[in-house]
Amino acid sequence: MPSPYRALFAAPGTKAFTAAGFLGRMPLSMMGIGVVTMVSQVTGRYGLAGALSATLALSAAAIGPRVSRLVDRHGQRRVLRPATLVALTAAAVLLCAVRFRWPDWVLFVCAAGTGSVPSLGAMIRARWAALYRGTPQLHTAYSFESVVDEVCFIFGPIISIGLSTAWFPEAGPLLAACFLAAGVFWLTAQQATEPVPHPDERQSGGSALRSAGLRVLVATFVATGSIFGAVDVVTVAFADERGHKGAASVVLALYAAGSCVAGAVFGLLRFGGAPERRWLLGVAAMAVSMIPLLLVGNLPLLAVALFVAGLSIAPTMITTMSLIEEHVPRARLTEGMTWVSTGLAVGVALGSSAAGWAIDAAGARAGYGVPAVSGAVAVVVGFLGYRRLRRPAAGRGGTVEQHSERDVRNLA
């Protein structure tokens, strides 16, 4: 591991909460695609599968920021454990409902309940921020976390789709639930690195979403999330049409691998110039990378196209986390990070649902038009909101400014 990454783990407890966060985030890449695979295996209905995945994502979008706001006020241990128990109970009933062919409305209710799963990525990033606030190491830490996210997306779909197709349909979501339970309860047992809660902030601030810059980031990532949700569903269907459904996990893993490689390199670099300009460039690159997907006709070419498309993801997400710290008060940091995840979740819901109906109506190849359109929308929203990202509100963040790309020239 390069020395800047190795230096992150000099602080006590970092290895343990990183390992717990990795386990707890595996369901992020396993549950949605696992539900799609499970339901399509049992019922053959991609429209239903996409709608259930969308319901899960929308529920997470609605509940996640509220859970994170409670975490900011009361601490991770007191909030994450009960929230996780609710999600695990709903997931267990969902698996039973699919297995025993219960009515569709039961599936949707259970999918909505499963959405109460907390945002482990935001929790881990908040711990890094508490340790390295105001130092260049925080940029490296955020880069490392983006790599961890992508490692989850490399192995998660392979495990989830592989188990559901080779063993039994419910196997992928079942293992995702086990990972969630292990990760959350291990993380919340580590109180030494838990960020200090801010119980008095409810009288003084309101939601982190009051920040105009954060609203721009969230709106843009609704469209970006549509890319991710659509690509997952369409790729499974594309592979299925060609008689190699299990290969979808490998193709999606290469998509994440491209992002993983880019994120690892990005964390070693120090940049001059404004981060919001680099963020907008990343959003545009993600949009352009969707165009070749409309032209591919076989799985090998699709794998190459998705690997290239993945190269723009992690750098854009890393820069997004830096921008959040510039625009959100410190006491709302976990909530602010979760709102971006919420935008992604809403987008995933819209993208997966639209892709499912497009596949049912016109086939898998036509379904890649959904992420292409979503990318174009993301660029438009990003351009329209760019001015707001250039003006952080006074008193906001106060952390990244000391090590961000604007000042890193003084550290080089």
pLDDT at 125 over 60: yes
* 208-226 tens-digit pLDDT: 767 777 888 889 989 998 8
3-state DSSP assignment of residue 102: coil
pLDDT at 89 over 90: yes
Whole-number CA gyration radius for the chain: 20
Burial degree of 380 (CB within 10 A; 0-12, 13-18, 19+): middle
Q: What is the pLDDT of residue 407?
A: 32
| Least-confidence region, from 124-128, 167-171, 230-234, 268-272 | 268-272
Q: Where are the domains of the chain?
A: 15-195+207-410
CA atoms within 13 A on the CB side of 97: 20
| Lookup result for tokens 């250039």 | 390
pLDDT at 204 over 50: no
Q: What is the pLDDT of residue 402?
A: 34
pLDDT at 155 over 90: no
Q: What is the CATH number of domain 15-195+207-410?
A: 1.20.1250.20
* 300-333 tens-digit pLDDT: 899 999 999 989 988 888 888 878 877 777 667 7
Report which of 385, 394, 198, 368 is spatially closest to residue 294, judged by C-alpha positions: 368
Q: What is the pLDDT of residue 271?
A: 67
Burial degree of 238 (CB within 10 A; 0-12, 13-18, 19+): buried
Q: What is the pLDDT of residue 359?
A: 84
Q: What is the pLDDT of residue 201?
A: 53
Q: Which two tokens stand for residue 105?
A: 């409305």
To 10 degrees, the CA torsion angle through 366, 244, 259, 54?
60
CB 169 within 8 A of CB 37: yes
| Least-confidence region, from 42-51, 126-135, 229-238 | 42-51
Query: How remote is the C-alpha of 406 from its chain's centroid?
Result: 26
CB 30 within 8 A of CB 172: yes
CB 350 within 8 A of CB 54: yes
Most confident by average pLDDT, 9-18, 270-279, 372-381, 395-404: 372-381
Q: What is the pLDDT of residue 391?
A: 58
Q: What is the pLDDT of residue 306?
A: 92
| Least-confidence region, from 10-14, 104-108, 342-346 | 342-346
Q: Whole-angstrom Cα distance, residue 370 to residue 351?
A: 7
pLDDT at 2 over 70: no
Q: Which two tokens stand for residue 63?
A: 């509940």
Q: Whole-angstrom Cα distance, residue 301 to residue 293?
A: 9
Of residues 360 and 309, more confidence is placed in 309
Report which of 115, 31, 121 is spatially closest to residue 76, judged by C-alpha positions: 121
Burial degree of 135 (CB within 10 A; 0-12, 13-18, 19+): middle
Report which of 294, 282, 179, 166 is spatially closest to residue 230, judged by C-alpha positions: 294
Question: Mean pLDDT of all residues in the chain?
Answer: 81
Q: What is the pLDDT of residue 206?
A: 62
Of residues 201 and 36, more confidence is placed in 36
Query: How remote is the C-alpha of 381 from its chain's centroid?
Result: 19
Q: What is the pLDDT of residue 405?
A: 33
3-state DSSP assignment of residue 383: helix
Q: Which two tokens stand for residue 143?
A: 């880069």
Q: Whole-angstrom Cα distance, residue 76 to residue 81?
A: 8
Q: How many degrees, rounded to 5, is the angle at CA 181 between CA 180 and CA 183?
A: 65
Q: Whole-angstrom Cα distance, residue 278 to residue 290?
A: 19
User: What is the secondary structure of 29-85 as a DSSP string?
Assistant: HHHHHHHHHHHHHHH--HHHHHHHHHHHHHHHHHHHHHHHHHHHHH-HHHHHHHHHH
Q: What is the pLDDT of residue 398?
A: 42
Q: Which two tokens stand for residue 124?
A: 């881990």
Q: What is the pLDDT of residue 92?
A: 92
Q: Whole-angstrom Cα distance, residue 203 to residue 50?
A: 40
| Lookup result for tokens 């940091």 | 333
CB 364 within 8 A of CB 356: no
In percent, the amount of the chain with pLDDT more than 70 equals 90
